[in-house]
Amino acid sequence: MEYIEFESPIRELEEQLKKTKQLQTETGQDLSRTMREIEKSIISTRKDIQKNLSPWQKVQLSRHPSRPYTLAYIQAITNGNFLELHGDRGVKDDKAMVGGWGIIDGESYMLIGQQKGINTKMRQYRNFGMANPEGYRKALRLMKMAEKFNRPVITFIDTPGAFPGLEAEERGQGEAIARNIYEMCALKVPIICIIIGEGASGGALGIGVGDKVLMLENTWYSVISPESCSSILWRNWDHKEQAAKALKLTAEDMLKNKLVDGIIKEPLGGAHVNPEEIFETVKQTIIKTAAKLLETPKNKLIDSRIKKLSKMGVFDE
Amino acid sequence: MGWFKRNKEGITTETKDKKETPEGLWHKCPKCKVIVRQEDHEATFWVCGHCEYHERIDAKEYFSFLFDDGKYQELDSKMRSKDPLEFEDTKKYKERYDSTVKKTGLNDAITTGYGLLHGQAVTIAAMNFSFIGGSMGSVVGEKISRAIQNAVKHKTPFVMISKSGGARMQEAAFSLMQLAKTSAQLTLLSEAGLPYVSILTDPTTGGVTASYAMLGDINIAEPGALIGFAGPRVVKETIGKELPDGFQTSEFVLEHGFLDFIFKRHELKDKLKFFFDCTLQKEETAVAK
């Protein structure tokens, strides 16, 4: 388990707990009471931390190195019943975007998402979860396949942004994202989007238009990352905490502003503390939400999707 | 050792002694520096007669030559941003906004209008780069959406002239969602079988490229415009080397297959009419009042 700065009280307590356990095995003394005390204070410390998390700290949690990524969710909620599909049929297979058919509780779904790497080598392989145009085009191909077979689409969003590379520009990064947004607005099957980590701008929205857009409790979603926002508006990287606050990018703020449809509660301390628990919560949310959406007639589904989007924006006349 | 020795350091003309061309009378091309009379410059649609540099112009100028006799009905002219996030960076967004309104005489980075183009009723939305870099926030998204609705209602083609640095950061996620909101309206325009022409002008970058600017039945551009998703500076930082010549220009984007053609500004009106004549079904063509 890795820890980030504000988790250091937890690290100390967990180390204490480990030492006490060790001591108990070595000496044969009954230290169960002490251990229970430590466990209790771990929980209360976690509660305290959670209560006082700043927007920037939530951004940090959303990038926690131990946080589960898309394929971990897919493997867990499909119980391994997942058939990964590759390629955009034009250029290549983008490793930063994954997708395929999965079965959850006896029903099939098209599961798509950005994928980050779990170690240095894999992070490079996955291009840090930053998809190229072919990634978005692969996602669109799979969504169209889901439409053909009348099955719901579930997207897992976790990206620091669409890749800003030279080839990405040559192959039309803007067009690829625009096309996905456009097609998703009128896709004839239910779409559920879940932000499981970072929701950075167009890169996120490129697989982020849906009937229900849900954010995990400790994630962020905005038009730009706090760091880039700081560098553009303050002309340096030092105002990221201030930028995180100003952008109103937390799940709570996004729901309050009616830009997402709901929040999925994470285990105490964050998804990384108890992955099994978050997998189960997400699985149950998908089953429940999809069932409801599948009952809605197709034209009504698209109608209300477009109506929902039309209401986003605040202005005076 | 050089051949010539510089005796004095730097440029020695003091700022107060510098000769500036008086505004309003003469126009100096920022590219080739040739000076022409302002009225001649306007007569060539703000394009340099010597080097064909297409100067950045706002909605008002585009409307003056696209609509017949420069006459049109402006839509939603009073709409203004409400600062939903009470955003503050080095300056309060509200203050920045109000001072821009005062300085430019515009209410936001877009103007939308409805009128005749060679006798054909048409709805046009054009962005104003002079308003916070043509950035897209709630007002831009809403006005485009309503312009598209106007096009559907009156069965007119829709023309979008983009000129923007991207989404407006001060409205954060509200800005981001305008990408989806405008795209959603475009699906309805398409369903109504009406033509959509997206015109990309200098510059069209960021979120605008990732939505309506790239979704035209035809995407067309002025020569030499900067067009891209990520800005050139960001791309350069990402790849860690110099960018090739002509990277992210209209010509580059055309070559890579994302534009239908590049036009010179004086040809635009006729080309639009030609496209409408080819695509509009006769019985559906409306005549504006």
Res B289: pLDDT: 41
pLDDT tens, B199-243? 999 999 999 999 999 999 999 999 999 999 999 999 999 999 999
DSSP B229-277: SS-HHHHHHHHTSPPPTTTTBHHHHHHTTS-SEE--GGGHHHHHHHHHH
Q: Is residue B35 classed as helix, strand or coil in its secondary structure?
A: strand
Q: What is the 3-state composition of chain B as percent helix, strand, coil, each rounded to the nearest 5?
A: 40, 20, 40
CA angle in degrees (0–180, nearest 5) for A107-A109-A110: 165
CB B167 within 8 A of CB A223: yes
Q: Give one DSSP letter per residue of A182-214, joined into a string.
A: HHHHT-SS-EEEEEEEEEEHHHHHTT---SEEE
pLDDT digits (tens, 9 = 90+) for B4-24: 776 666 656 666 666 655 567
**One-letter identity of residue B243:** L
Q: Is residue A93 part of a domain?
A: yes
ipTM of the complex: 0.94
Mean pLDDT over residues A290-315, rounded? 96
Same domain, A22 and A98: no
Alpha-carbon distance A13 to nearest alpha carbon in chain B (angstroms): 38
Over range B241-258, report the average pLDDT. 96
- For residues B96-104, give the mean pLDDT: 96
Q: Which of A85-94, A150-159, B15-24 has the lowest mean pLDDT?
A: B15-24
- Do residue A44 and residue A71 come from a single domain? no
Indicate which of A223, A258, A303, A314 best probes the interface with B, i.e. most B CBs within 10 Å of its own CB: A223
In a shared domain, residues A30 and A145: no
Q: Which residue of A has its CA nearest to B251?
A: A170
CA distance B170 to B61: 27
Residue A198 included in any domain: yes
**Nearest CA-CA partner of A126 in A160, A154, A82, A155:** A160
A263 — pLDDT class (breaks 50, 70, 90): very high
> Rounded CA gap, B184 and A295, in Å?
23
The reply to whether residue A162 touches residue B229, judged by beta carbons under 8 angstroms, is yes
From chain B residues 11-70, the ones with a CB under 8 A of any chain A CB are none
In contact, B25 and B38? CB cutoff 8 Å: yes
- B284 pLDDT higher than 70: no
Domain-embedded: residue A1 = no
Using the Cβ of B145 and the Cβ atoms of chain A, whether some distance falls under 8 Å is answered with yes
Cα distance between residue B208 and residue B185, in whole Å: 15
Lookup: tokens for A147: 């439409």
A91 and A27 co-located in one domain: no
Instruction: Judge if pTM exceeds 0.80.
Output: yes
Q: Are A43 and A71 within one domain?
A: no
- Among residues B31, B72, B58, the alpha carbon closest in space to that of B163 is found at B58
pLDDT in tens, B13-59: 666 666 655 567 899 999 999 999 999 999 999 999 999 999 999 99
The tally of CA atoms less than 13 A away on the side-chain side of residue A119 is 1
Nearest to B173 by CA among A224, A49, A282: A224
Q: How far is CA A124 from CA A69, A115, B79, B152, in A?
A: 15, 11, 46, 47
Reply yes or no on whether the pLDDT at B288 is more than 60. no
CB-nearest to B229 from A173, A208, A259 is: A173
Residues of A within 8 A of B200 (CB-CB) are none
Residues A186 and A233 in one domain: yes
Mean pLDDT of A191-211: 98
Residue A169 lies in a domain: yes
**A2/A118 Cα distance (integer angstroms):** 12
Q: How far is B73 from chain A (nearest CA, A)?
A: 17
Percent of chain A with pLDDT strictly greater than 90: 96
Residue A311 and residue A103: Cα distance in Å, rounded?
A: 34
Mean pLDDT of chain A: 96
- If asked whether residues A43 and A67 sit together in one domain, one would say no
Write down the H helix ranges in chain A.
8-27, 32-51, 55-62, 70-77, 120-125, 133-148, 166-170, 173-185, 201-205, 226-233, 240-246, 251-256, 275-295, 298-310
Q: Are B187 and B152 in contact (CB under 8 A)?
A: no
Q: If you average pLDDT over residues B257-276, what whole number do you get?
A: 98
Rounded to an integer, what distance in angstroms lies between the CA atom of residue B159 and that of residue B195?
Answer: 8
What residues in B contact A242, CB-CB < 8 Å?
A: 89
The β-bridge relationship of strands A97-104 and A82-84 is antiparallel
Chain A residue numbers touching B179 (CB-CB < 8 A): 178, 181, 202, 205
Taking contacts as CB-CB distances below 8 angstroms, the residues of chain A near B188 are 306
Return the DSSP state at B88. B
Residue with token string 């976690």: A46
Cα angle value B241/B242/B244 (rounded, 5°): 125
Whether omega for the bond prior to residue A160 falls within 30 degrees of 0, making it cis, is: no
Q: Are residues A31 and A119 in the same domain?
A: no
Give the pairing type, strands B110-117 and B80-81. unpaired
Residue B75 contacts by C-beta under 8 Å, 6 or more apart in sequence? B112, B113, B114, B123, B143, B146, B147, B150
pLDDT over threshold 60, residue A93 = yes
A41 and A116 both lie in a single domain: no
**DSSP-derived secondary structure letter, B215:** -
Q: What are B140's two structure tokens?
A: 């831009």
Determine how β-strand B72-75 pairs with β-strand B110-117.
antiparallel
Q: Are residues A40 and A87 in the same domain?
A: no
**Residue A1 confidence (pLDDT):** 77
Asked if residue A2 belongs to a domain, the reply is no
- Domain CATH number, residue A234: 3.90.226.10
Dihedral Cα A311, A312, A314, A317, nearest 10 deg = -40
What sign results for the dihedral spanned by CA atoms A144, A145, A151, A155? negative
Closest CA to B100 of B133, B61, B75: B133
Residue from B162, B112, B120 nearest B274 by CA: B120
> Cα–Cα distance between B19 and A132 in angstroms, integer?
49
Q: Which of B171, B210, B230 sits opposite A178 (nearest CB)?
A: B210
> A30: how many CB neighbours lie within 10 A of its CB?
9
A291-A294-A297-A301 Cα dihedral, nearest 10 degrees: 90
CATH 3.30.70.20 fits B56-288, yes or no: no
Interface of B with A in 250-289 (CB under 8 A): 256-258
Per-residue pLDDT of A164-184, as tens digits, reads 999 999 999 999 999 999 999
Residue type, B226: L
Number of domains in chain A: 2
Q: Which residue of B has its CA nearest to A247?
A: B172
Average pLDDT of chain B? Answer: 92
- Nearest Cβ partner for A223 among B176, B180, B185: B176
Interface test mutation site (partner B, options A234, A236, A304, A310, max chain B beta carbons within 10 A): A310
- In this prediction, residue B24 carries a pLDDT of 73
**Region B238-253: what's the mean pLDDT?**
94
Domain ranges for chain B, please list them. 23-55, 56-288
Residues A30 and A94 in one domain: no
- Asked if A20 and A92 sit in the same domain, the reply is no
Q: d(Cα A69, Cα A79) in Å, to the nearest integer?
A: 15
Instruction: Domain of residue A261: give its range.
Output: 59-311
